[in-house]
Chain A
Amino acid sequence: MSNSLEQDACRYVLEMNHITKQFPGVKALDDVVLKVRPGTVHSLLGENGAGKSTLMKCLFGIYTPDSGEIILNGRTVRFSNPAEALANGVSMVHQELNQVLHQNVMENIWLGRFPMKNGFVDEKKMYEDTRRILEELNIDIDPRVKLGSLQVSQRQMIEIAKAVSYDAKVIAMDEPTSSLTDVEVEHLFMILERLKKRNTSIIYISHRMEEILRISDEITIMRDGRWIATKPAGEMTIDGMIRLMVGRDLTDRFPEKSNNPGDVLLKVEGLSSSVFQNVSFELRRGEILGIAGLVGSKRTELLEALFGLRPRHAGTVLLNGKAVANRSPIEAMNNGFALLTEERRKDGIFPDLSVDFNMTISNLKAYAKFGFLRDRDMKNDTGRMMQAMHVKAPSGKTRIGNLSGGNQQKVILGRWLLTQPEVLLLDEPTRGIDVGAKFEIYQLLNQLAAQGKGIIMVSSEMPELLGVCDRILVMSNGRQAGLFDAKTVTQEELMEASARFV
């Protein structure tokens, strides 16, 4: 009897049984089960709002579940705060990086538990410990470097190193790859392999199906706060996972293309700025041009230069054959450009303000009459746009911060569509958005292209570029590394071009 109990305890390092969590007005978790084996990667999959993050917060002591039990190493636990969870070997890499940018790497890793010696912080021990962990994970970053000087992807690595530094037996990772490029994802996977060898278990949350299939040992799928299935990764397919996630068939991940590229709309010749050189391409009416490249290949900067957020050093930009200078965003907007920025939370939304406000802010001049804004016109436009884009929100007065990422993105896309742009510049338009919302965004892009707009889209997901775009321009280390037809190019060719000038 006792023997079998012990065996059972060994089978799982962590069991979360019958977890239920009620928030005012919504049952966020309903009888959810998650069982993680030692030394494995267990993926948690579901659309936004399926309850993945809530479940992790229950594990981590941020929320207290209303009912259910959590068994860690055969012992029933209930953490009342993250510090307790960390002390017991459960750590978490959050989706949003909460780091002190003004402090260096080691201070960030040991924050709150600096090694002390004679009443002073023991810098030497801290440095050695940090170096040891970074070496073990094969992360090549100096512990004394300021965090603010690192790239987002490097900061993500540091966050993982921090989780490891707690000697964690279970590490939950909430979308660790959403800001990483393919090469960096490879590095992360290598780190995961090392963690597995140390007998550390990883709960892995991601929206990227290919990744999940590759890296996982087991997959648990959730939908609407309920447990749907747990299966070994080997028995899963992408279509199968999507079917379980959305509860219906998504025949294809990308909508059928309906656009027909026409005349040249935008001609960019020899465009250079302080960080990229000599980029030339043409964009036709009704065409979707993808931009691929690694993080740091200056894709975002290219869009910024086109939109007037970054000074140009050389080159010409012709719109309908006429040169446009676009020295400021305002001038770019007046010339018919629109830019959907990469970091929605940082420079996209006004989180405390309403959906209506967020949608109309770039187009106010269309509503002003004698200096006063006409509320009714604004309401009509936002209402129409919300309907056209299937924005799921109680009303236009809802705070945009309360909406899911996908819905926020639709609102911001709506903001730009109201300005009736000719050229849409989109920077990672589907980052952090669930499969269903992604599909809707792809459909929208297709429709817009079919209406004759020119779309330039930066993305780190190659299947997305291949599935949505007509042509793909590859940037590598600030230089143009190729321009391909999306119908014929392969992922390998794109990867090869991305790495050409690195």
Chain B
Amino acid sequence: MNALKSKMNGSASLKEILSNHAIHVVLIALLLVVIIIEPSFLSLTNFTNILSQSATRIIIALAAGMVLIIRGVDLSAGRMIGLAAVISASLLQAPDYAFRMYPNLPELPIIVPILLVMAICGILGAITGVAVAVFKVPSFIASLSMMLILYGMSSVYFDRPPYGAQPIGGLTGEFTRMATGSFNIFGFKLPYLIVFAAVVCVVIWVLWNKTKFGKYMYAVGGNPEAAKVSGVNVMRMEILVFAIAGLMYAFAAVLEVARIGSASNITGNGYEMDAIAACVVGGVSLYGGIGRVGGIVIGVLIFTVINYGLAFIGVNMYFQYIIKGLIILLAVIIDMRKYAKRR
């Protein structure tokens, strides 16, 4: 999108390039700062770590981005992840683990709980979507309500006798390997997590750019009135987007549980804000209609680099919050300037 814009203008000045590629510049600058202060940062391990730490967040941000593109906002992401986490963890505890939630449950094929939580979250997402599309509830409120409902549901499911509010652990090794394992390519370890995220990115890119669904999504976000008149079923699109977002949260939740090795009702706490922040930094417009897979991925990477890179050079964690806040603010200011110029 950005590249395309500068191409259209023919020759772009340095200033334009800077403003059109502001997020790339920020990412590179951050990396440079870290590398200059601590040259040992420049290692393959660190980069695979940054990528695998970003993996689940990329999936969540892409889902949240989809909602933003159709002019919505989804505050229920984190809690939906929490619900999917406790359900999937409870069904994937090793048979020899002492504190099993379901002591007599046979060991299930991993795919069964994954599909189950994806179905549950897909339906719950669709419910938010129906509230937004059919009953015209602002998505902020609809997803806020869903967030509360989900927190209640996951807490009821999680905090009950005999073990009460204890993290659900003791997951099967086969399951946790989904996240912790890696391909060994001539001695280079490529974590499965990165592969999962990459596959999701490709699928989502195709969905957004090469299908009717994607074009309609941008149309609904760009001008819902025009979309309706152009024969787009706007209601159906809104419900579908929330439902697909739900599926993706659930998938990310499963990976997150496998990565951490346990789940509780606070798993995923605050992820919705991280996801929205990454989208905004990645160039998704809060007014809808604009947003690209590549931008969102870089948005997520910027936040991981802040977390990981700044911790690596020993920046105080509290300062990291300040830097994060400033970067979000800066990204939106640049974004707004772009709109202001057009009018």
Contact = CB atoms under 8 A, between A and B. Distances in A.
Contact of A352 (B212, B228, B229, B290): B290
Contacts of A364: 212, 215-216
B222 A353 contact: yes
B211 interface: yes
A357 interface: yes
Interface in A352-404: 352-353, 357, 360-362, 364-365, 368, 371-373, 375, 394-395, 397-399, 401
Nearest to A416: B230
Contacts of B227: 350, 361
Contacts of A373: 210-212, 215
A382 to B, nearest CB: 13
B165 to A, nearest CB: 45
B8 interface: yes
A347 interface: yes
Given A372-B206, A372-B211, A397 B222 contact: no
Interface in A304-344: 307, 309, 328-330, 333, 339, 341
A194 B24 CA distance: 59
B231 A362 contact: yes
Contact of A353 (B5, B210, B218, B229): B218
Interface in B1-21: 4-5, 8, 10
A25 to B, nearest CB: 8
Given A371-B211, A394-B8, A339 B229 contact: yes
A348 interface: yes
Contacts of B166: none
B212 A309 contact: no
Given A353-B218, A368-B212, A329 B289 contact: no
Contacts of B232: 361
A232 B28 CA distance: 63
Nearest to A415: B230
B286 to A, nearest CB: 13
A372 B233 CA distance: 19
Contact of A351 (B10, B222, B230, B231): B222
A347 B215 contact: no
A365 B342 contact: no
Interface string B221-238: 011011111111100000
B245 interface: no
B257 interface: no
B295 to A, nearest CB: 14
Contacts of B5: 399
Contacts of B219: 350, 353, 357, 361
B6 to A, nearest CB: 12
Contacts of A350: 218-219, 222-223, 226-227, 289
A360 B212 CA distance: 10
Given A339-B229, A362-B230, A398-B8, A349 B223 contact: yes
A339 B229 CA distance: 8
Nearest to B215: A364
Interface centre among A349, A352, A362, A372 (most CB of B within 10 A): A352
B218 A357 contact: yes
Contacts of A248: none
B229 A349 contact: no
B215 A349 contact: no
A124 interface: no
A349 B223 CA distance: 7
Contacts of A394: 8
Contacts of A25: 10
Contacts of B206: 372
Interface string A117-139: 00000000000000000000000
Interface in B291-343: 342
Given A341-B226, A348-B226, 18 more contacts: A328-B233, A329-B228, A330-B233, A333-B231, A346-B223, A347-B226, A350-B222, A350-B223, A357-B215, A357-B218, A362-B231, A364-B215, A364-B216, A365-B212, A371-B211, A371-B212, A373-B212, A399-B5
Which 4 pairs of residues, A with B, have the shortest CB-CB distance?
Answer: A347-B225, A350-B222, A362-B230, A364-B212
6 contacts: A341-B226, A341-B229, A347-B225, A350-B219, A350-B222, A361-B227
